[in-house]
Amino acid sequence: MKNGNSQPIIIGSSPRALYGKYTLKILLLVTVSILAIVFRSEWIFSFLPIFIFFYIYFAARILWDYLRIKNTTYFIYSNKVEMQSYVFLFLGVDNNVVNLSQVRQIKVFSNTYLDIWFFSCGNVVLTVSGDIADFEFKNIYHPGLVKQQVERMCFGVSSANG
């Protein structure tokens, strides 16, 4: 993308990030529930309301995270990066914007160990000054590629290749 072009690069968050985040928790609940049914243990059945509560809690949490992730879009312009989240906008939260000429550091993080092994989802953090993240691309599929694009916009082509 050339600097004179006003069309942004559009990047959406990936629901694949949810797999690594909740897979182990749900598998643990399902395993304990199956063991309770197979062994017909009385003390496990006494904890059935707690299991049901956790199933409902995880289902609601996954639905909320899915809506948040599906409705968050990042726009990389030649001079700024902007986040638009329709879920947060509905709740009255302002969208985040950072000026690319002020970015000093760009880091990439994976969400969990499962993301590293299977799902390749993670975050890209832009820092303007200090150690506090000023802007964060969350739950991005292949965050390293996004980091390279932003580095090209901030620091030029030569720094992204080296």
Residue 52's region, left for phi above 0, alpha for psi from -120 to 50, else beta, is alpha
Nearest to 20 by CA among 124, 142, 110, 109: 110
Q: Per-block average pLDDT, block size 10, for the chain (162 residues)?
A: 63 83 76 74 71 82 84 87 76 74 85 76 84 80 89 70 48
Q: What is the pLDDT of residue 80?
A: 87
Q: What is the pLDDT of residue 92?
A: 60
Q: What is the pLDDT of residue 3?
A: 45
pTM exceeding 0.85: no
Strand partners, 98: 81
Q: What is the pLDDT of residue 114?
A: 72
